[in-house]
Amino acid sequence: MLSSLRSRWIVVILTLLLGAFWLSPNFMNYEKDSVLAKNKIIMGLDIQGGLHLVMGVDVESVIQERAARQSKDLSQQLKDDGIQIQGVQVVGDKKTEIEILTGGAANKAAVEKYLADRYASTFQVVQSSDDNILLQYFEATMMEMKKQVVGQAIEVIRNRIDEFGVAEPSISAQGSDRILVQLPGVKDALKAKELINRTARLDFRVVSQEVPGDKLVAMIEEAETKGNYKLGENDLHYAAYLKKLNADLESQLPKNTKVVFEKLESATSLEAGKRPYVVMLDSKLSGDQLEDAAVRPDEMGKPEVTFSFTVEGRKLFAELTARAAGGLIAIVLDDVIKSAPRVEREIDSDSARITLGNVRDYQAAQDEASFIATALRAGSLPAALEQLEERTVGPSLGADSIAKAGTAAMVGAIAVLLFMIFFYGVSGVVADIALAMNIFFTFAILTTLGATLTLPGVAGIALTVGMAVDANIIIFERIKEELRKGGTTALALKDGFSNAFSSIFDSNLTTVLTCVVLMYYGTGPIRGFAVTLMIGIISSMFTAVFVSRVILDTLVTKFNINILAQKKG
């Protein structure tokens, strides 16, 4: 028995140490590139104040623009294939339908065959005659385009906010054409909105080979040392840092070039780790000539990024790859390199691909490919953003709210602690210790998840305090029943925990299932409440059933204490 008890105490101590380790980033400053540096509880907008924006995305205009470009490309492609037509135009009330003027039955058959070969999954024929063919996007294609437009807008906003320096922004889609932006701690709301609404810039740049990588790194370090500046320090954000660095290195760089950076694969931000490149500025190829980008499996089933150009973009891409043959082409979004693939030879095609090299983690490669494809589309299809809602939460309001919420939670916790001691004596003290450990583990788990703590989350923790002692009450009442039967304290303790477990498990399981439903269907505040409550309930299963049992077993077997002798009821 004692040997088993010793083993259980080891488990309790190890979990406490692990919890302290997880919780430590909230009280200690780690290096920026440390994994623990980003694992801390983030105070939500309603606690520390900040900016709340709902942005409308002009999805329809982007689809109209895409239909217009598609009509031009179709006209050129049909002519390149030797199919004579009278013209291609955009029609319909929404300007998203494409009409091909065939000019006769013979041409109509050739056009239909071309469409079936190239656009069978994109367009459906809604009207056809000898003189014209009316095309319409499939509904699934239209929905995917809308989803992509919102995703592109989110990526644009995220790039803007990263430059602004907000540590933990929350940017998510709302419905099919809205984006929710929450920027905790932002004080300059006007500047934040200006950055969000600025159009993203996508460029394809040839990477210069004139400055070796080691020499470039040394040049950058020397410039930073002389100028006494560094990215991320003293509120020096990426755009200002890049401008200052290139000004300092202008005399050392080849003409018509500049230094830009790529975030390291293992880094969480540019400040944590970046790789410099010298790129040439004379390229005419930009995101304006990009038609689309998507993730596809290659011949081996590994993810790769495929992208296509307009007719004009194809010519510019051929010229660019001819110049870069044997070197690298950098895909640059807002002066941040998203990918720098090697080009072996000139690519004269309306499509190209980016391979990801050796793939060890398939999901990581899939995520990277999706990110690159979204970044490419973000530059090629900039969607106009309309501000639909704005709320600025002042830090004083946030501080007042958290103070009141903290007071309420504290009063509730003290009431529960006193109740347990008054009614259960020594066992009540044990229950209070288990409750304190439950809150400790809840905050530790929230920390390691990098969760955002909001006022609904505080409410979830407060509710956890009240619910967590239910398990102890059920156990103590079962122990009292066993003692009334005349059993020893040790036997009553054993049977009480055994008989109470099924009831505790069932009641907590239903609560957890409710939390799962709230997390799946709820929005931000509801999810915050559900997450904290679910973590607290799961943690209480360990503290109430395991930790309490260890402490009570120790009191009974080693100190021969009648654990319920001081009960008041």
Q: What is the C-alpha radius of gyration for the chain, rounded to an integer number of angstroms? A: 31
pLDDT at 221: 92
10 Å CB burial of residue 306 (0-12, 13-18, 19+) is middle
Q: What ranges do the domains of the chain cover?
A: 2-48+395-557, 60-142, 199-386
The helix/strand/coil state of 137 is: strand
* Calpha distance 555→563 (Å, rounded): 7
| 35 DSSP 8-state letter | G
Non-local CB neighbours of 163 within 8 Å, separated by 6+ positions: 195, 237, 238, 239, 334
What residue ranges in 190-326 does DSSP mark as E strands?
Answer: 202-206, 257-263, 274-280, 290-297, 303-309
Tell me, rounded to whole angstroms, the distance of Cα 518 from its chain centroid.
20
* Calpha distance 223→219 (Å, rounded): 6
Q: Give the CA-trace dihedral at 464, 171, 150, 284, to 10 degrees.
A: -160
* Largest pairwise CA distance in the chain: 102
Rounded mean pLDDT for each run of 10 residues along the chain, 569 residues in total: 75 91 78 57 73 82 79 83 84 84 82 86 85 87 84 75 62 83 74 65 84 90 91 79 90 89 79 89 76 79 80 84 87 81 80 64 73 63 68 63 72 84 85 90 85 78 81 85 78 81 85 87 76 89 88 82 54
pLDDT at 2: 47
| Short-list 337, 167, 186, 164, CA closest to 236 | 164
Record: fold of 60-142: Hypothetical Protein Ta0175; Chain: A, domain 2 (3.90.1070)
The helix/strand/coil state of 538 is: helix
* Calpha distance 98→131 (Å, rounded): 14
Instruction: Say which residue the tokens 């038609």 belong to.
Output: 291
Cβ-contact 309, 351 below 8 angstroms: yes
| Short-list 65, 110, 57, 58, CA closest to 84 | 110
Cβ-contact 534, 463 below 8 angstroms: no
CATH of domain 199-386: 3.30.1360.200
The helix/strand/coil state of 198 is: coil
Instruction: Say which residue the tokens 């790129």 belong to.
Output: 279
pLDDT at 377: 65
Written as one letter, the residue type at 507 is S
457: tokens are 């989350």
pLDDT at 30: 62
Phi/psi for 437 (5° steps) reads: -65, -35
* Calpha distance 514→533 (Å, rounded): 10
- Alpha-carbon torsion 530, 533, 537, 539, what sign? positive
116: tokens are 């079936």
**pLDDT tens figures, 65-82:** 778 878 888 888 888 888
CATH of domain 2-48+395-557: 1.20.1640.10
* Calpha distance 97→137 (Å, rounded): 7
| Beta strands at 336-339 and 257-263: parallel, antiparallel or unpaired | parallel
* Calpha distance 519→457 (Å, rounded): 12
Cα–Cα–Cα angle for 91, 97, 99, rounded to 5 degrees = 65
**pLDDT tens figures, 304-348:** 888 788 888 888 888 888 888 888 988 887 788 877 888 888 877
The helix/strand/coil state of 185 is: coil
| Short-list 539, 496, 498, 543, CA closest to 515 | 539
* Calpha distance 340→149 (Å, rounded): 24
- Alpha-carbon torsion 508, 514, 517, 519, what sign? negative
The helix/strand/coil state of 364 is: helix
* Calpha distance 441→18 (Å, rounded): 9
Instruction: Say which residue the tokens 């980016």 belong to.
Output: 354
Non-local CB neighbours of 330 within 8 Å, separated by 6+ positions: 204, 205, 206, 207, 260, 262, 277, 279, 337, 339, 340
